[in-house]
């Protein structure tokens, strides 16, 4: 206990809790947000909270969101997306030691920003099986190499109903986070200490989720689409800026 409390001063823990609360509320509304919002800030405040503890609470938050809107999960489509994610996650983990991560990150960031730009045109992105499989492939590779994996999936689902967007993205995140936790545990990068740190973030995560519940069904479809596309664009821009 004292080891955890001495990891940073009380102000850092308070700010971390606020960040997790806001990120959880945003994810409860849109299906994405906790990792995009919290990871960069927590790396500055309490780097030991990333990736293990953040993945732990992200997985739990996604399970809560799926349970809330389970009837709207695109089960069949997610099967194709998760197949793609698994394949490229394994490939990326195998090649991570000798791939030029900086150059790959720049390419991924430009792909995200290009897809965001495409979303601003009359071209309509739809969650077809081929599109979901490709999005899963890109997401798995991106997520393993750069920790930014959700934008491809978010952009594919952007034109669906709000409930389907939230439920399907949460389903993808729940399984994806679990895969990442297992992978980290396999190389001794996730353990009891990470779970203990994660438990300290459980309350702000749960409060953020609860705050999103009465608001989720009041968010207009176009507003949610703008939010999803905007968060994806922000993630792409931050990923690009991190390389310079």
Name residues whose C-beta falls within 8 Å of residue 92's C-beta, 6 or more positions apart in sequence: 99, 140, 141, 144, 145
Q: What is the pTM of this model?
A: 0.86
User: Tokens standing for 75?
Assistant: 């089960």
**Helix 52-68 and helix 192-200, axial crossing angle in degrees, nearest 10:** 60
Backbone dihedral region for residue 147 (phi beyond 0: left; psi -120 to 50: alpha; all else: beta): left
> Would you give per-residue pLDDT tens digits along the chain (244 residues)?
555 555 557 888 999 999 999 999 999 999 988 887 888 788 778 888 888 899 899 999 999 999 999 999 999 999 999 999 888 887 877 776 677 878 878 888 888 888 888 888 887 889 999 999 999 998 888 877 766 778 889 999 999 999 999 999 999 999 988 988 887 888 788 899 999 999 999 999 999 999 999 998 888 888 988 888 888 888 888 888 888 8
Q: How many helices (H) and strands (E) does the chain have?
A: 12, 0
d(CA 145, CA 209): 28
């Amino acid at each position: 206990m004292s080891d955890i409390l001495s990891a940073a001063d009380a102000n850092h823990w308070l700010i971390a809790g606020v960040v997790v609360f806001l990120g959880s509320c945003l994810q409860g509304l849109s299906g994405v947000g906790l990792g995009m919002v919290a990871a960069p800030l927590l790396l500055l405040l309490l780097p030991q909270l990333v990736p293990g503890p953040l993945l732990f609470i992200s997985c739990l938050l996604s399970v809560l969101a799926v349970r809330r809107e389970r009837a709207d999960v695109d089960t069949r489509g997610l099967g194709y997306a998760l197949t793609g994610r698994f394949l490229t996650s394994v490939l990326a983990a195998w090649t991570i030691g000798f791939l030029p991560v900086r150059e790959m990150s720049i390419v991924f960031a430009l792909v995200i920003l290009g897809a965001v730009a495409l979303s601003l045109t009359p071209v309509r992105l739809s969650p077809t099986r081929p599109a979901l499989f490709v999005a899963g492939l890109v997401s798995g590779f991106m997520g393993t190499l750069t920790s930014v994996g959700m934008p491809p999936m978010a952009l594919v689902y952007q034109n669906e109903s709000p409930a389907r967007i939230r439920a399907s993205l949460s389903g993808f995140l729940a399984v994806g986070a679990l895969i990442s936790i297992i992978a980290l545990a396999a190389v001794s990068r996730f353990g009891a200490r990470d779970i203990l740190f994660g438990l300290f973030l459980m309350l702000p995560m749960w409060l953020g989720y609860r705050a999103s519940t009465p608001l989720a069904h009041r968010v207009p479809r176009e507003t949610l689409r703008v939010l999803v596309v905007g968060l994806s664009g922000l993630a792409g821009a931050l990923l690009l800026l991190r390389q310079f």
